[in-house]
Amino acid sequence: MSPQPSRTLTARRLSLDSWAVLLAFLLAALVRIGLVKVVPW
Q: Name the residues that contact another protein, by CB under 8 A.
A: 8, 12, 15-21, 23-25, 27-28, 31-32, 36-41
Smaller CB distance to another protein: residue 10 or 27?
Answer: 27
For the chain, what's the residue count?
41
What's the CA gap between 26 and 32, in Å, rounded? Answer: 10
Q: Could you give the angle at the alpha carbon of 24 between the alpha carbons of 41 and 9, nearest 5°?
A: 135
How near is the Cβ of 30 to another protein at its closest, in Å?
9
Smaller CB distance to another protein: residue 1 or 40?
Answer: 40
